Amino acid sequence: MAVVQTRGLTKLFAKGQVGAVVDVDLESREGEFLVLLGPSGSGKTTLLRMIAGLEEPTSGEIWIGGVLVNDLTPRQRRIAMVFQSYALYPHLTVLGNIEFPLKARRMPKEERRRKAQWAADLLGIGRLLGRKPRELSGGERQRVALARAIVREPSLFLLDEPLSNLDAKLRASAREELEQFQKKIGTTTIYVTHDQVEAMAMGDRVVVMNQGAVRQIGTPADVYDEPQDTFVAAFLGSPPMNLLEAAGVIVGFRPEHFHPSAALPADEPVLKLAFRAKHEEYLGAERILYGVLEGGPFDGEKAVARMSSTLAARFAPDVVHDFAVAKKDLKFFDREKETRTEPRALA
Partner 1 sequence: MGLKNFTSVLQNPTFLRALRNSFVFTVASQILVLVGANLLALVLKNAFPGRRFARFLILLPWVAPVSIGSIGWKWILDSLYSVINWVLVRLHLVKEFSAPMWLGEPKLAMMSVILVHTWHMLPFATVIILAGWTAIPKDIPEAAAVDGAGFFRRMFQIELPMMLPIINVAVLFGVIFTFTDMTVIYILTRGGPYDTTQVLPSLAFFTGILGSDLAEGAAISIFLVPLLVAVAWLMLRSAHRAEVV
Contacts of 123 by beta carbon, 8 Å cutoff, 6+ apart: 143, 144, 146, 147, 181
Q: For residue 36, which of 48, 25, 54 has the smallest C-alpha distance?
A: 48
Rounded Cα–Cα distance for residues 332 and 76 (Å): 47
**Minimum CB distance to Mg ion smaller for 45 or for 187:** 45
119 touching partner 1, by CB under 8 A: no
66: left (phi over 0), alpha (psi -120 to 50) or beta: left
Residue 41 interacts, among Mg ion, partner 1, ligand ADP, none and using kind-specific CB cut-offs from 5 to 8 Å, with ligand ADP
Q: Smallest distance, Å, CB 12 to partner 1?
A: 17
Q: Which one among 28, 45, 189, 228 touches ligand ADP, defined by CB under 6 A?
A: 45
Sites for partner 1 among residues 130-159 (CB under 8 A)? 132, 134, 148, 152
Helix axes 109-122, 94-104, angle to 10 degrees: 130
Q: How does DSSP classify residue 18?
A: P
> Which stretch in 41-49, 92-100, 163-171, 307-315 sits in contact with ligand ADP by CB under 6 A?
41-49
Of residues 1, 13, 173, 272, which one binds ligand ADP by CB under 6 A?
Answer: 13
The pairs formed by 216-223 with CB atoms below 8 angstroms and a separation of 24 or more are 217/26
Give the integer Cα–Cα distance in Å for 11 and 310.
Answer: 50
Contact partner at residue 43 from partner 1, Mg ion, ligand ADP, none, CB < 5 to 8 Å by partner kind: ligand ADP
Q: Minimum distance from CB of 214 to ligand ADP (Å)?
A: 12
> Which residues ranging from 49 to 108 are in contact with partner 1 (CB under 8 A)?
52-54, 73-75, 77-81, 83, 85, 87, 89-91, 100-101, 103-105
Contact footprint for Mg ion (CB under 5 A): 45
To the nearest whole angstrom, how small is the minimum distance from the Cβ of residue 74 to partner 1? 4
Q: Which does 257 bind (CB under 5 to 8 A by kind): partner 1, Mg ion, ligand ADP, none?
A: none
For the beta sheet containing 331-334, the strands, ordered from the edge strand earlier in sequence to the opposite edge, are 242-246, 249-253, 331-334
Type of residue at 11: K
Instruction: Identify residue 283 by its one-letter amino acid code.
Output: L
Report the interface residues with ligand ADP, using CB under 6 A: 13, 20, 38, 40-46
